[in-house]
Every structure is written in structure tokens, then in C-alpha cells.
Structure 1
């Protein structure tokens, strides 16, 4: 239970986060390249359309059977998951908690103290949950990175919970 993180305070729904399952989440991002690449704002319908189009083109060119390249792609993806350094955007979790309209402060509670941020900044946070394929056990369960990457080399560690005022 020490790995469970709660979002509470001026929210409609108290949210419980378990970083142990995020490795299976498609929203995960590779932290080794995330801050060095330009973040694009694109909608999910556009991404879905591109993915379906790519799959359709592949079936037209190669046929509907699964070519050997798909097997090697899956193996590469599995290897990447087992050795990668990953994080997950905080926005969906914060949106699901539905902060009150008068909420303006986001607080990160850590073992060594608290960090206060404007709630608008909290929507862009990235929560790191693995380093080289291993969970963050010594100073985790998560590390918090600011969306602009300004604390990329010194993230907020030993996070215990989040609250909104």
C-alpha cells in the first residue's frame, strides 16, 4: 500500500493512483526522449485515423496475413518495456478528479516537505514511474517532472500524495 498515491482536497472524486500498473498503459511516454522532442498537441481522433490508415495501407501492400516483421516489432516493443525509463502525463488523472472551480493550488506531498504549484501547471506534469525497466523503489514510487522539463535532471522525489486547495 505504500506505492498508492491519492489525489484529494477540493475535488469531486478522490482518485487513487497505482504506479505499478502504468507500464501497461498506452499513455506512457519514454522519459529519455520526451523532453528533447517537441510536444505536439493533436487530438485522439486524428491519431486514431492515422493508425488505422497505416494498418490499412500495410494490409493492402503485404496482404491480410501477419508478416514476420510484426513479430519482430512486438519483440522490440517488449524489450523496450523491460528496459525503458517511462512516465505518464498527469492531465487525465487530474481531469478525472474534477477539481472544484475555485481550486487554484496543487500541492505535492513528499517525505521531505511539500511543493505548491498553480493548478494550471499541474495539468502539464509528468509522473515518472520506472527507470531502466525497474520501478522507483528507493526514492519513489514516482518522480514528478514539470511539463516544460525544467526539473528533468532533478525531479520531485519521494511523493506520497497530492492535494488540491
Structure 2
């Protein structure tokens, strides 16, 4: 149930999607694609670029998010929902080297998929459906943030290789 990020990177990372259920960065699957039709305006794009720059420059000072306290009702809701996790933070921590341009998603079925590094950074990993890990066709599914593959995600991902 783990997904390593390896290849043309500074730091190899092992993702464990089973622990993301209580991570504050997760997004409800139903809400993840709500903004597909709403394009960001220039101010939002500039602000996001600024945040990415600050993360890159001050990465050594970034601390992982701390879970806020949750009520029993919120905990029950969390354990019944379907969630995605943006992958960009993990790729940033792995520090892809300057000549890295693509990512190969190694899948259990043997039909590996190669996408651009930009596409990978603009993707979500589905890790829980109805509060349960994806055991049969997981451990994660990859969805593009624009929703273009919402009906046909990349499944059975067992490794991500940055090329």
C-alpha cells in the first residue's frame, strides 16, 4: 500500500496513502473538481506563483501540516468520505532535478503511463473511497486537476518514476 517516488530526483520519497485520511491537505473527491469550469484570474495565478516561489526558497523551513482537533462527528464523516490528495507537495519535497521532464506511473497491470512533470504536479491521488483504502485497484488513482480523466483515472499505481 505504499507508493515510492524515485528516479531523477534529489530525495526518494515513500508515500503511504493509508495515513492521509486525517491529513489536513486532503480534499473531498466531490469538491476536487468543482472549480474545473472556473478559471483563475491573473491575481490568483500571481498569488499561487508567489506561494510556489516562497515554498521553493524556504523549503527547509516548511513544517508538515498539523492536524487540528476534530469532533467525533467530524471523525465519523471523515471515515465515510472519498478523498484525493494533491501530489505537488510531495514532488516538490523530492526535488526533481533540472533536467527532469516526465514521470512514469508504474502500474500493476504492466501498462505504464508516462506524463509530463507538469501534469503530475497538477494531479490528485485518490486514496480513499467511502473512508476505505483502495485495496483492489490501488493503492492510488491519478486524476488530473482539470477533471479531464475524471471518468477514466489511472489506476493500480505502485510507483512513480521521475525521468
TM-score calculated relative to the size of structure 2: 0.77
Aligned residues: 136
The residue that corresponds to 2:112 in the other structure is: 114
User: What's the RMSD between the two structures over aligned residues?
Assistant: 2.1
* Structure with the bigger percentage of helix: 1
Q: Distance in 2 between matches of 1:96 and 1:130?
A: 23
Choose which of 80, 90, 94 in structure 2 pairs with 1:93. 90
Alpha-carbon distance in 2 for matches of 1:88, 1:36: 15
Where does structure 1 differ by over 6 angstroms across 4 or more consecutive aligned residues? none
Q: Tell me, yes or no, if structure 1 residue 6 matches structure 2 residue 8.
A: no
Q: 1:39 to 1:129 in 2, by over 3 A?
A: farther
Larger Cα-atom Rg: 1
Unaligned runs of 5+ in 1: 44-72
Structure 2, unpaired ranges of 5+: 49-69
Matched with 2:58 is: none
The 1:123/1:20 distance shift into structure 2, 3 A limit, reads same
**Partner in structure 2 of residue 70 of structure 1:** none
Q: What is the aligned counterpart of 2:131 among 130, 133, 140?
A: 133
Contact 2:32–2:145 at 8 Å: present in 1 too?
no
Query: Residue deviations 1:83-111, cap 9 Å, x none?
Result: 10001000000000000101111111101
Q: In 1, are the aligned partners of 2:107 and 2:159 still within 8 Å (CA)?
A: yes
The 2-side partners of 1:164 and 1:29 are apart by 24
